[in-house]
Amino acid sequence: MRTRILTLALAASSLLVLAGCAGGSGDASPEPTTPPAADGCGYVAGGGAAREVTPPPAEPTVTGELTAVLETSVGAIPMTLDADRVPCTVGSFVSLAEQSYYADTPCHRLTTAQIFVLQCGDPSGTGRGGPGYSYRDELDGTETYPAGTVAMANTGRPDTNGSQFFLVYEDSELPPSYTVFGQLAPEGLEVVRAIAAAGAEGGAPDGAPATPVTITGVTVG
């Protein structure tokens, strides 16, 4: 399965799965080969890496509220990350950013109906790529996804987070299955909304953004 966001149906009788680019197939992040560790973050090796990196340490090394900026081909997207609430997720994101994993990486998917997200984080641009490891969810069941939310995508199974994430540009109804690890700054939200205003390729409700978006780098402060 590809890394995906599961949402309500475009038609009342069906279920739409957002997974990688439209028409693609395969895994977007690797399935764990062993259960995540009970203690620590339990980053589990598995699957091929879209870009070779070293997994973060099992014990989180980041704390507090951090500022991150996605430098992109269409403008800077600043956000804040909550390492105290979700230390494993923020720890992984920061580690990948520091290893330049996200540099020159396209945002491969835009959805414009029922849910409203821009999905990024796969260097291959196929929606199938991950970092060569997966890790556990950090959920408490109260997660919601209003405009400005930054959350992890997954394979549709528990504890299959990798490198792909999504930026919510309008309030979206999703089950509380996706770890929320940050919030877009107002100016970052406006950049994502401008991308969304151009729609997806071919006018489809789900596909590659009509305005190509490339993450050129990520800074964390």
Condensed to tens digits (0 to 9), the pLDDT of residues 65-90 reads 999 999 999 999 999 999 999 999 99
Query: What integer is the mean pLDDT of 128-147?
Result: 96
Q: What is the pTM of this model?
A: 0.85
Alpha carbon distance 149, 118 (integer Å): 11
- Is residue 185 a part of any domain in this protein? yes
| Residue 20 confidence class, pLDDT cut points 50, 70, 90 | very low
- Is residue 37 a part of any domain in this protein? no
- Is residue 118 a part of any domain in this protein? yes
**DSSP 3-state of 192:** helix
Alpha carbon distance 179, 29 (integer Å): 15
Alpha carbon distance 162, 136 (integer Å): 9
- The pLDDT of residue 46 is 87
> In 81-155, where does DSSP find H-type helix?
87-98
- Is residue 55 a part of any domain in this protein? no
- Is residue 110 a part of any domain in this protein? yes
Q: Which of 176, 20, 218, 14 is nearest to 111 (CA)?
A: 20
Distances, alpha carbon 140 to alpha carbons 7, 79, 82, 107, 183, in Å = 19, 22, 14, 28, 17
Q: Which domain holds residue 71?
A: 4-32+42-50+60-220
- Is residue 111 a part of any domain in this protein? yes
**Neighbouring C-beta atoms of residue 85, cutoff 10 Å:** 15
Distances, alpha carbon 8 to alpha carbons 53, 66, 173, in Å = 35, 32, 7
More confident residue, 23 or 80: 80
Q: CATH number of the domain at 85, please.
A: 2.40.100.10
Distances, alpha carbon 137 to alpha carbons 37, 41, 112, in Å = 12, 9, 26
Number of structural domains, the chain? 1
- Is residue 124 a part of any domain in this protein? yes
Please check whether residue 73 is in contact with residue 212, taking contact to mean a CB–CB distance below 8 angstroms: yes
Number of helices and strands (H, E) in the chain? 2, 14
- Is residue 142 a part of any domain in this protein? yes
| Residue 54 confidence class, pLDDT cut points 50, 70, 90 | very high
